[in-house]
Structure 1
């Protein structure tokens, strides 16, 4: 393992100011379009946090339900005879257990992939503090967010003077999706430790430069560690509420379907396209690569999807058949590692209409012909609270899929 940052003594639990005591995660399975519409209407009325919204009728929809709303929602579902089950009985208990696990192990372990890491731990590694990252890794600041937190792109190259084709990978644009930054850390580790010792990685790094944004939404991610574990957006204040959904803030049918103009909504698109420092940082770093950028991958969780543009329209991109072919090869390689099943296809058909997304922008505006949005493990048993013991297998299978996709490009 190439990471060897020694964590300073002292315990740091995940102190969540917002309590989720008694909150439950319910999985609802509507059997008809009418039932889907009724469930969504009820969830909107009760102001439930909808964690997933799959396209297919009969697919499960996950909701985070506060204790004071559970009785009303359950009564509605029973009255309409809509099937549901409780996936998580007490959300706060799961959060507390993971916080205790982190606190217990933090003082005695080196930086590795068996636990989630807070923002400072991640940045220490990117800065090379106490680490044995090879000298081939360097980082630069692509922009600055609020609260003084910088957004970093780590450039990994074995040479070539910046003339090689480039692969873009970003993680953590949604704050609560912790397995996403953990996966970017895994990828960085594989690239740096595998060069010169793993033939496939060595060949890949002698062919491509990698540009990796490990934590795309650092102020939001930090907030999930110290205030609200299930926060999604960034932390910029707008009209009495906080946060823009950065993945609705790109100039790709900005403000269209799947977004909200309500600053209190989890899908608030922001006041204008690229109003946010995070999206500006992605835009500027990607455009700086110019024609060198061959593949764009943005990594989310959860639901196990490998998706192509478009999210803002049901119309398929001109090269959809080629993107779909490569996605199929990637998913086959991913599944071969641990048997994890992924669905692949365009965003609008696989999940829902979502405008202002980064992968649509990467294809339309940056001209990157292979643009993908990934949703990692799982399918709802843990959701955004994926246990840390699943970090390594998630990293292993995701990296296998990405390598296969890169090698399949024409």
Structure 2
């Protein structure tokens, strides 16, 4: 989800933090404020304090984080709000109670206790290698390139019978660094697809016998590591500021505003300001992470039909279809995609009661320039091109407690199984 920077942001939440300074969110509190359609009035009242805006649905509400010194002043403003995090620093520490990864036993998958906590990046790498080792005849390690700091954009290809030439499904996650639950979710789904195939689950076997599935769990590994080690709420990659930028302290490009398609056609769909959280880069596709993804996708599209693409995000609980770059240009099969999204919404709700909103990106959420789903649909020819915004709707936001990892995986596993078998 988009993270809109406003005036008077606290230094601890800006894009300008040097790597050597670990960000401390102790005492910060997060709130959801009802705007009742008067977001400008709410923002006017907030102008006297430092805060950070977490969401962009200002017609309905504002989600903000407030430093401790301004909390009492905020509470005296007479706004209608509910608490998200009473102590954001404490919530982050709870997230970082990682369990040591014990690997896998011969001829088995890793223990599924993996899904009880979040994990350091290096453990994630080993986990994916272990998934491959548990399914060696029906999987292959793949890569979409290398990040700016030299990290491999690794992934896994899964297939059943005659892998290699079937229609393709492509998923990737953690393009936005702080959205930790997204990679945990693609891991949960991949894990259970392998487990199901190994144990003769008819639905799973049909999926992998019909399609080749490509999963890239960490599109933005540099940003993800930075979010774990320095600033939990970091969003972008770690690219340096352009040489001619007015502000030389702001790092990072939003890789999901950097796709070389409709890169800057919509006002407000991305930003030319390198300090903004939705900074689109200096030119289309100028980040190494995006260049690798584009090449990876284009290579698959050249030899295999792309049936289903998902870019996994959090938070907000949305199922989003093309287009983001226009609210007027309707995707050729928009009705078909939206109808299926509505059915998937119901399947997801049946698991734990979680409610999703669905529809085209621009109409349902906001305009997006240079976004992945539009490139995959308009250029790469994906028949279904979606973005999921996972839990939650605003109780915890980006800092989702570890206890919710498994239920998120469970509901999304059922959702995507339904989607794939009903396309």
Partner of 1:213: 216
Contact 2:101 2:123 in 1 (8 A): no
Whole-angstrom distance in 2 between the partners of 1:224 and 1:378: 19
Q: Distance between the aligned counterparts of 1:184 and 1:285, measured in 2?
A: 18
Q: How does 1:362-373 map to 2 (within 5 A)?
A: 362-373=376-387
Who is 1:54 aligned against?
Answer: 57
Determine the structure 2 residue equivalent to 1:18: 23
Do the aligned partners of residues 45 and 267 (structure 1) sit closer, same or farther apart at CA in structure 2, a change above 3 Å counting?
farther
Q: Relative to 1, partners in 2 of residues 1:371 and 1:47: Cα closer, same or farther, differing over 3 Å?
A: farther
How many angstroms apart in 2 are the aligned matches of 1:130 and 1:275?
Answer: 31
Match of residue 93, structure 1, among 67, 90, 93: 90
Instruction: Return 5+ residue gaps in structure 1 as ranges.
Output: 1-14
Q: Normalization by structure 2: what TM-score? A: 0.85
Residue in 2 aligned with 1:266?
Answer: 277
Does the 8 Å contact 2:118/2:402 carry over to 1? yes
Structure-2 residue corresponding to 1:27? 32
Q: Distance in 1 between matches of 2:86 and 2:350?
A: 32
Q: Secondary structure at the match of 1:259?
A: coil
TM-score (norm 1): 0.88
Q: CA deviation at 1:45?
A: 8.2
Structure 2: how far apart are the matches of 1:148 and 1:45? 42
Instruction: Give the secondary structure class of the aligned counterpart of 2:134.
Output: coil
Task: Point out the more displaced range, 357-366 or 312-321.
Answer: 312-321
Would the aligned equivalents of 1:125 and 1:131 in 2 still touch at CA under 8 Å?
A: no
8 Å Cα contact 2:269-2:368 kept in structure 1: yes
SS in structure 1 at match of 2:130: coil
Q: Is 1:141 aligned to 2:154, yes or no?
A: no
Q: CA deviation at 1:28?
A: 0.9
Select which of 100, 103, 107 maps to 1:106: 100
Equivalent runs, 1:243-392 vs 2, <5 Å: 243-255=252-264, 256=266, 257-290=268-301, 291-315=304-328, 316-392=330-406
CA distance in structure 1 between the partners assigned to 2:413 and 2:407 by the alignment: 10
Task: Determine helix, strand or coil for the equivalent of 1:61.
Answer: strand
Unpaired runs of 5+ residues, structure 2, are 1-19, 104-110, 242-247
User: CA separation in 1, counterparts of 2:405 and 2:68?
Assistant: 30
The secondary structure found in structure 2 opposite 1:128 is helix
SS in 2 for 1:321: helix
Match of 2:244 in 1: none
CA distance in 2, matches of 1:151, 1:46: 40
SS at match of 1:307: strand
Q: d(CA) in 2 for partners of 1:161 and 1:113? A: 28
Q: How does 1:65-80 map to 2 (within 5 A)?
A: 65-70=66-71, 73-74=74-75, 77-78=77-78
Partner SS, residue 384 of structure 1: coil
Partner Cα distance (1:242, 1:118) in 2: 23
Please state how far the C-alpha of 1:71 moved relative to its aligned partner: 5.1
Between the aligned partners of 2:171 and 2:318, the Cα distance in structure 1 is 16
Matched, 1:232 2:246: no
Residues 262-320 of structure 1, C-alpha deviation per residue, up to 9 Å, x if partnerless? 11111111111111122122211111111521111111011111011122221232221
Q: Is the 8 A contact 2:170 2:306 kept in 1?
A: yes
For structure 1, which segment, 108-117 or 397-406, has the greater mean C-alpha deviation from structure 2 after superposition? Answer: 108-117
Aligned pair in 2 of structure 1 residues 227, 204: CA closer, same or farther (>3 Å)? Answer: same
Question: 1:107 & 1:189 partners in 2: Cα distance?
Answer: 15
Write out per-residue CA displacement over residues 337-382 of structure 1, whole angstroms, 9 at most, x where no aligned residue: 1111101011122222221211111111112121111000111111
